[in-house]
Amino acid sequence: MTQQVMNIHLERLMETIRQSAEIGTLPNGGICRLSLTDEDKKMRDLFLQWMKECGLETRVDDFGNMYGRRKGKNNELTPVLAGSHLDTQPKGGKYDGVLGVFGALEVVRTLNDLGVETERPIEIVNFTNEEGARFQPAMLGSGAMAEVFKKQTTLNTKDQKGSVFSEELERIGYTGLKENRQQDPFCFLELHIEQGPVLEDRGKSVGVVTGIQGMTWLEATVTGRTSHTGTTPMNRRKDAVRLASKLIAKVYSLAEEVPDLLVAVGRFQAFPNVINTVADQAVFSIDIRHPEDHVRERFEKLLKETLSTMTLVERMDLQIKDIDKIGTDSFSEDIIEVMEEAAERHGYSYMRMLSGAGHDAKYLNRITPTALLFIPSINGLSHCEEEFSEARDIEKGVQVLFDTVLALANKETL
């Protein structure tokens, strides 16, 4: 099949993104739309309406993942699946996740406008709780669909306030059926903002992602002894916060010795959390990332040994719990080449790159050929209200997605 150039409708896409940004709007223009909240329900309801307006057959699976199916000439063929997520961080931006879902919606709208019928069906998906901001771990909906996470464990997951995942699904009306899961797609495609500065720094419009680097999440709990701040001499204290601060400093200093390693302590809590009481417990997270699994695993082992030794010297207790561990993934070379051909056809500058952040594509890669596409994030900002991507870059990304979906929806094999 000779593929003619067919252009997406940028103004319509930007209006869709604008309407999305009105749900959960924050004072500085960002979005707070945590998974399975009332704001998430409102967004889901609107997205469902938009899919039905496109003539898609809609359904919801047992993890709340939403699907919209556009029929093909041969509906016995497995579908091309494309999408991302609509939930956000507590102070999130307008484009993270949203672009992938609405980009896929724009692909379908454009195909409808042009009256194009594909051989294979095409399905859009909105995955539940990708961010992990409310329910942990992140990428919960896609991971459960791909059976990386056990069903009952997923449904029983609680947020920090004790709300249960399954009960919140039911509360907002998005408890679906197991048989509605898409477990045999022909392939999966995800468009996303980069969330980093590489594309902007290199002057590239499109990033063709070759894989996602591995990640380890740990939670460290330091236990000392509580005492009165006004009566306990400094040398007689077992101050959990003081030791935790030393351990955290060591986390960063060790990381600086390993090329390409990324670490962060993003969460910290002290107990009993009283001004005039020495804390007897401090709890903090450790996020470790590296493109090579053996390097990340070796660093994790060294880190645990070093922090444990430091704690023993202070005669206190340290427990380090594994929260999540994900290995490095590589994406489909066949799909990568289709994406590059699409970028070249339109004259877009592009580069191959590795993703530093996790995305739903990571778990879909376990069950089907998968690829991920990036567009630039201005100043590399994301997971914040200042997150922004230029309309011209959005257009290029969705256009490459369109061409790729169209090409793959007419392929016999990969």
Task: Examine residue 209 and state whether it is found in any structural domain, yes or no.
Answer: yes
Tell me, yes or no, whether 186 lies in a domain.
yes
Residue 413 lies in a domain: no
In the predicted structure, residue 2 carries a pLDDT above the cut 80:
no
Range(s) of the domain holding residue 247? 214-326
In a shared domain, residues 190 and 239: no
- When the pLDDT of each residue in the chain is averaged and rounded to a whole number, the result is 96
pLDDT of residue 1: 40
Q: What is the pLDDT of residues 240-275, one digit of tens each?
A: 999 999 999 999 999 999 999 999 999 999 999 999
For residue 259, being part of any structural domain is answered with yes
Mean pLDDT for 152-166 is 97
**247: CATH:** 3.30.70.360
Residue 232 lies inside a defined structural domain of this protein: yes
Q: Where residue 128 sits, what CATH number does that domain have?
A: 3.40.630.10
Same domain, 24 and 131: yes
Is the pLDDT at 17 greater than 70? The verdict is yes
Compute CA 207 distance to the chain's CA centroid, rounded to the nearest angstrom: 17
Which residue, of 303, 326, 349, is where some domain finishes?
A: 326
Per-residue pLDDT tens for 71-126?
A: 999 999 999 999 999 999 999 999 999 999 999 999 999 999 999 999 999 999 99
Do both 235 and 361 map to the same domain?
no
Q: Are residues 389 and 279 in the same domain?
A: no
Average confidence (pLDDT) over 218-225: 98
